[in-house]
Amino acid sequence: MRYDQLAVREAQRLALSVITAETVKIKDESGNVCDQKNDYYVNPLNVTMPMKLVQEIPWVVTTQNNQFDFSIQAPGQVPGTNNNVILGQKNVFVCYAIQILFGEGANAANRIYRSFGNTVNDDALYNSLISIRLEQSTLIDKVNGQDFRDVPSVITEFNSLDGMLLINPVRIVPGDLGTFSLFINLLNPIAALVITPNMFISARLVGAFGQASA
């Protein structure tokens, strides 16, 4: 989905306000609104934004439900295999957008990323529903895959916002979650389709990264 810079800037400001707030509003046992210490507070000096958490898996016709692990057990970057970026146990992340890209190339060093498939069969990826699960709860659900498909006027053109969808509300997550997964669930079987070889799905969570400090 295409966004102007104003929409992105507003999402970034919201994420920054969440991660740098020293207190949060809660209701006490009597229903009164009061302030409570923000357990995920990060000093603004230790915040980087935008930052993208990245997980990549092969695009294959034998997988109907594609899962991307962003938890504490998330697979790290493997030279030549992927361009993964993980959160780290003591860090904090505020997600304001999801991005889905195709990566073409067996070697991760020169893999080319696009927000659309090379063929109609590749674009079967977008006939899907996207969800994100945090621990026991699916907090983001039934996001339409077609919202992530962007086709530029020139095939070699690429913008960092291509294939990105802003989300509301923003989600704040610590780096020690045991379950933190994004799912792309295809609505139809694709086993009979012929897709482009050496293609990968790159799932990216875009947001504010808070580094742990001593």
Mean of the per-residue pLDDT values for the chain? 93
> Is residue 205 within 8 Å of residue 134, measured between CB atoms?
no
pLDDT digits (tens, 9 = 90+) for 166-198: 999 999 999 999 999 999 999 999 999 999 999
* DSSP-assigned states of every residue in 60-83: -TT-SEEEEE-STT-----TTT--
User: For residue 214, what pLDDT is reported?
Assistant: 63
Q: Which residue has the higher pLDDT, 30 or 141?
A: 141
Q: What is the pTM of this model?
A: 0.93
For 34-47, what is the mean pLDDT?
Answer: 92
> Is residue 85 within 8 Å of residue 203, measured between CB atoms?
no
Spatial distance between the Cα atoms of 54 and 66, rounded to a whole number of angstroms: 14
Would you list the domain boundaries of the chain? 5-22+31-210
pLDDT digits (tens, 9 = 90+) for 113-123: 999 999 999 99
For 106-118, what is the mean pLDDT?
Answer: 96
